[in-house]
């Protein structure tokens, strides 16, 4: 909210003026109201390994993060550019592999990656779209420079919070929306549905779209149900689908009904027990065969994990140059690869100041934040790294930007990141906003909800405003 | 719509309706237990009012497993209201209904979910101390009110789609079942002695039964007469203008199934039509002749055939090869 000299940043001016004469009790009361509403509306996520409460509300902070249109444009252009390149990359590695032939990415990095799906080689997906929904995690440093922290190209979650947070803010503070030109995000699900319909199998003029969920005990079930409802399509589980003659049907009260496009929130491994993990009870036997026969479209496509792996991440700027002939609009965070001897030595010598992550980890699990860890934790992690260095990457601890956040002691700065959701189908596009995640503990850099992070509404101000 | 979704909605409303009827039954039991009549013989403990909710719901052995020894009001209330281990307790019914709603929250309105979720959060925070402190009748009134409110919100906000039909179907199937079981209470209720037939205890038991079905005032309006078993039977079995009577429930069930059924599910409609006709053209004298208990047992058996058919046709279907080769 404030720049280095302590002056209010221009995009926060109106908000700051409004906030100035609000007593702390007013903010406290609004925060309580928001917490109550979230619990009553049942906007929850499940935490694995937590026996006490199966469901919890994700902590929501009522102070918005505000972005100027210029900053948003950088984020938006940069994220779209990245997704365009990643789609071309996926098409390439499952077909001609030009990027390997050109010597830009080593063959082993692709073919030796366990997320690479040889079954997908030579298979054409509708519209050449592999990543229909991408979540690109972006951070800003205190020097006002944006970095991409990671790409989420499998089944990225959190978009329902972007939409619900906005509804909550409009419910709590309608007067702010009349004073500030906040760009709307509500049309996200319309764009999603339009894109999903655009990638239906050939010859289907009025496709039936469904959302496939692992079930009501999945941590993101609320979101699956929310998206299905907002798009007006069925929310199905594996048991609701059956495959006959390489065609997918759902079991309805009026008999079997054909399904054309599946927005699936089930991981590759669990989609089809006949093709992947045979012990999967979540999947649909024969689904992969129907997919390969071009009788049904899966969004995202199978095998996208090879492109969002943290060891592939370091090649994305090169992909952008190779496929698009453009310079990356948003940079990567400098990344050390621990399978390289030089990098490994450097990292082991500097663990207290670095962030170390598992190559295929997600959700903030299995990572070390050097500056926030004890000597014992660092020593333990060193042991794990040495057992399998190739399983880790390391990054410098960025001086992440902060955003004013309501906490016990009043309003104080907390570190934030931003995940905008890029949609591909007919076009590559995103709605002006995203999920701002905030590390609620003072000084913490970990924003994952499973690790005590919360969320905020993200406001992009239309141009022509202060 | 998806069969699994229809199944969840159907059970959501069945669980709500069951919670309401259980609250009604427990409330009546509580009021009856306040009457100054007791059976003294120790081998007739089944005549204790607090045995009723267990007998009616077929839960006696489950109860004795958890609470050995004589039946007490405290234990029955704990078992029927708060016990998560009893699938028919109010706690379990509201939990299950909320779980069904949560799974299908995309198929219902946000107002409906907000309401049922609030009921669950309130239920979850109950304990025995609070229940007694606030008065058990107050609590039962709350359960009834939440059920009425949820039905009202459903009626007032939900699209008249298939999901709506399955919600209503669940309500009336459960209500028919519960009304039949409640009516059967009198069969299980022993009077202190034969001389008491038609006496004060008898009168209070019948009027309690009527009250538990919100039919006491209706009885007064319709008959303006003493309460007799034959008239109660007519009111709660055969009259279709009493909203909780078997006939009224079957009217709705038959109407809904006529709308839902197509060529492949004609059997459900036929079974419902048959059961409906039996009530529509029924005679009180005939029922008294066979015996109310026997009549109600026959009704429940047919209702259970019908629900099995509803499962086969809509909720848990199996397809033939022919159906998926188009």
CATH number at residue A377: 3.30.1490.270
CB-based contact B1 A253, cutoff 8 Å: yes
Residue B217 has pLDDT above 50, yes or no: yes
Residue A287 placed within a domain: no
Residue A72 has pLDDT above 70, yes or no: yes
Q: Please provide residue A445's backbone torsions phi and psi, each rounded to the nearest 5 degrees.
A: -110, 0
CB-based contact A40 B118, cutoff 8 Å: yes
CB-based contact A235 B162, cutoff 8 Å: no
* pLDDT band at residue A359 under the 50/70/90 scheme: confident
Residue A21 has pLDDT above 70, yes or no: yes
Higher-pLDDT residue of A445 and A242 is A242
Residue A307 placed within a domain: no
Task: Note whether A254 contacts B: Cβ–Cβ < 8 A.
Answer: yes
Q: Percentage of chain A with pLDDT > 70? A: 94
* pLDDT band at residue B40 under the 50/70/90 scheme: very low
CB-based contact A256 B321, cutoff 8 Å: no
Residues 6 or more apart whose CB falls under 8 angstroms from that of A455 comprise A58, A59, A60, A61, A158, A161, A165, A435, A436, A437, A438, A449
Identify the CA nearest to B233 among candidates B213, B253, B255. Answer: B213
CB-based contact A251 B317, cutoff 8 Å: yes
Residue B321 has pLDDT above 80, yes or no: no
Domain enclosing residue A356, as ranges: 334-397
Residue A25 placed within a domain: no
Residue A309 has pLDDT above 90, yes or no: no
pLDDT of the residue at B87:
93
CB-based contact B114 A42, cutoff 8 Å: yes
Chain A residues in contact with B2 by the CB 8 A cut-off are 234-236, 240, 250-253
> Of the ranges A388-392, B23-27, B184-188, which one carries the lowest mean pLDDT score?
B184-188
Task: Note whether A263 contacts B: Cβ–Cβ < 8 A.
Answer: no
Identify the CA nearest to A292 among candidates A91, A119, A128, A154. Answer: A119
Chain B residues in contact with A256 by the CB 8 A cut-off are 319, 323-324
CB-based contact B324 A244, cutoff 8 Å: yes
CB-based contact B3 A251, cutoff 8 Å: yes
pLDDT of the residue at A42:
67
Q: Mean of the pLDDT values across residues A56-82?
A: 92
pLDDT of the residue at A58:
79
Q: DSSP letter for B236, please.
A: I
Q: Mean of the pLDDT values across residues B41-66?
A: 77
**pLDDT one-digit tens code per residue, B74-88:** 999 999 999 999 999
Residue B214 has pLDDT above 70, yes or no: yes
State how far residue B320 is from chain A, nearest Cα, in angstroms.
Answer: 10
> Of the ranges A38-52, A105-119, B133-147, which one carries the lowest mean pLDDT score?
A38-52
* pLDDT band at residue A51 under the 50/70/90 scheme: very low
Beta strands in A30-107 (DSSP E): 44-46, 55-57, 60-67
CA A204/CA A206 separation, integer angstroms: 6
> Length of chain A in residues, anyone?
466
Chain B residues in contact with A254 by the CB 8 A cut-off are 262
Number of domains in chain A: 1
Q: Mean of the pLDDT values across residues A179-204?
A: 94
Which residues of chain B have a Cβ shorter than 8 Å from any chain A Cβ?
1-6, 99, 102-107, 110, 113-114, 117-118, 121, 162, 166, 260, 262, 264, 314-315, 317, 319, 321, 323-325
Q: Mean of the pLDDT values across residues A289-310?
A: 94
The winner for highest mean pLDDT among A302-306, A401-405, B321-325 is: A302-306
Residue A346 placed within a domain: yes
Residue A368 placed within a domain: yes
How many other CB atoms are found less than 10 A from the CB of residue A43? 21
pLDDT of the residue at A53:
42
* pLDDT band at residue B197 under the 50/70/90 scheme: low
Residue A391 placed within a domain: yes
> Of the ranges A403-412, A426-435, A442-451, B148-157, which one carries the lowest mean pLDDT score?
A442-451
Q: Pick A40's closest partner by Cβ from B114, B260, B315.
A: B114
CA B4/CA B17 separation, integer angstroms: 20
Q: Mean of the pLDDT values across residues B303-312?
A: 95
Separation in Å, CA B35 to CA A68, B17, B190:
74, 28, 14
Average pLDDT of the residues of chain A: 89
Q: Pick B264's closest partner by Cβ from A41, A236, A255.
A: A255
pLDDT of the residue at B205:
78
Q: Mean of the pLDDT values across residues B34-50?
A: 60
Chain A residues in contact with B110 by the CB 8 A cut-off are 41
Chain B residues in contact with A35 by the CB 8 A cut-off are none
CB A251 within 8 A of CB B3: yes
Residue A11 placed within a domain: no
Higher-pLDDT residue of B166 and B72 is B166
Average pLDDT of the residues of chain B: 89
pLDDT of the residue at B37:
60
The winner for highest mean pLDDT among A129-143, A406-420, A443-457, B142-156 is: B142-156
Question: H/E element holding A439?
Answer: strand A435-439
């Amino acid at each position: 909210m404030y720049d280095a000299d302590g002056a209010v940043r221009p995009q926060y001016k109106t908000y700051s003026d409004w906030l100035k004469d609000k007593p702390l009790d007013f903010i406290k009361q609004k925060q309580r109201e928001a917490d109550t509403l979230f619990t009553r509306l049942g906007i929850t996520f499940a935490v694995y390994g937590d026996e006490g409460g199966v469901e919890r509300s994700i902590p929501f902070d009522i102070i918005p993060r505000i972005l100027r249109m210029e900053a948003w444009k950088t984020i938006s252009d940069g994220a779209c550019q990245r997704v365009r390149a990643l789609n071309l990359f996926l098409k390439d590695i499952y077909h001609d592999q030009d990027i390997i032939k050109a010597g830009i990415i080593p063959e082993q990095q692709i073919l030796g990656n366990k997320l690479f799906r040889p079954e997908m080689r030579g298979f054409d997906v509708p519209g050449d779209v592999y990543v229909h929904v991408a979540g690109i995690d972006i951070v800003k440093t205190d020097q006002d420079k944006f970095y991409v922290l990671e790409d989420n190209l499998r089944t990225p979650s959190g978009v329902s919070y972007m939409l619900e947070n906005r509804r909550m803010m409009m419910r709590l503070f309608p007067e702010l929306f009349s004073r500030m030109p906040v760009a709307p995000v509500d049309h996200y699900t319309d764009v999603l549905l339009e894109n999903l319909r655009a990638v239906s199998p050939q010859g289907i003029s009025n496709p039936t779209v469904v959302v496939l969920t692992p079930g009501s005990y999945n941590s993101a079930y609320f979101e699956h149900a929310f998206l299905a409802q907002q798009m007006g399509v069925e929310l199905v589980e594996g048991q609701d689908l059956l495959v006959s003659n390489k065609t997918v049907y759902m079991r309805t009260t009026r008999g079997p009904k054909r399904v054309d496009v599946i927005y699936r929130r089930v991981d590759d491994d669990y989609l089809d027990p006949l093709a992947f993990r045979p012990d999967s009870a979540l999947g649909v036997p024969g689904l992969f065969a129907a997919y390969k026969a071009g009788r049904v479209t899966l969004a995202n496509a199978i095998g996208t994990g090879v492109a969002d792996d943290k060891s592939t991440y370091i090649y994305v700027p090169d992909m952008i140059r190779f496929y698009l002939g453009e310079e990356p609009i948003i940079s990567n965070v400098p990344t050390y690869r621990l399978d390289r001897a030089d990098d490994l030595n450097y990292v082991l010598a500097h663990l207290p100041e670095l962030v170390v992550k598992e190559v295929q980890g997600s959700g903030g699990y299995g990572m070390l934040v050097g500056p926030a860890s004890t000597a014992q934790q660092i020593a333990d992690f060193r042991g794990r790294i040495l057992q399998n260095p190739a399983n880790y990457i390391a990054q410098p601890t960025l001086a992440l930007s902060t955003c004013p956040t309501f906490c016990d002691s009043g309003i104080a700065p907390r570190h934030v990141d931003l995940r905008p959701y890029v949609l591909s189908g007919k076009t590559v596009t995103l709605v002006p906003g995203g999920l701002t995640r905030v590390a609620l503990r003072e000084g913490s850099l970990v924003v994952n909800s499973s690790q005590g992070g919360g969320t905020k509404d993200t406001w992009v101000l239309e141009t022509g405003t202060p | 719509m998806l069969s699994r979704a229809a199944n969840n909605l159907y059970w959501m409303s069945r669980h709500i309706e069951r919670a309401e009827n259980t609250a009604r039954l427990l409330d009546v039991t509580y009021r009856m237990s306040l009457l100054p009549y007791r059976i003294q013989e120790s081998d007739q403990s089944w005549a204790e009012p607090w045995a009723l909710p267990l007998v009616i719901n077929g839960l006696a052995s489950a109860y004795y497993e958890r609470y050995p020894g004589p039946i007490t009001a405290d234990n029955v209330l704990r078992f029927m209201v708060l016990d998560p281990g009893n699938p028919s307790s109010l706690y379990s019914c509201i939990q299950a209904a909320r779980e069904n709603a949560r799974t299908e929250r995309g198929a219902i309105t946000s107002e409906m979910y907000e309401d049922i979720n609030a009921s669950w959060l309130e239920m979850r925070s109950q304990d025995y101390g609070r229940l007694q402190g606030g008065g058990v009748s107050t609590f039962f009134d709350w359960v009834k009110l939440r059920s009425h409110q949820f039905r009202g919100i459903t009626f007032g906000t939900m699209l008249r789609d298939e999901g709506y039909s399955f919600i209503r179907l669940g309500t009336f199937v459960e209500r028919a079942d519960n009304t039949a079981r409640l009516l059967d209470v009198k069969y299980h209720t022993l009077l202190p002695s034969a001389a008491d037939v038609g006496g004060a205890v008898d009168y209070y038991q019948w009027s309690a039964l009527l009250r538990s079905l919100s039919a006491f005032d209706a009885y007064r309006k319709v008959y303006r007469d003493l309460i007799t078993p034959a008239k109660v039977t007519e009111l709660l079995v055969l009259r279709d203008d009493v909203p909780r009577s078997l006939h009224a429930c079957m009217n709705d069930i038959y109407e809904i199934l006529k709308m839902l059924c197509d060529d492949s599910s004609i059997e459900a409609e036929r079974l419902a039509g048959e059961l409906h006709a039996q009530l529509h053209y029924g005679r009180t004298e005939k029922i008294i002749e066979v015996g109310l208990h026997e009549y109600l047992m026959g009704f429940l058996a047919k209702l259970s055939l019908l629900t099995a058919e509803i499962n086969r046709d809509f909720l848990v279907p199996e397809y033939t090869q022919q159906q998926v080769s188009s």
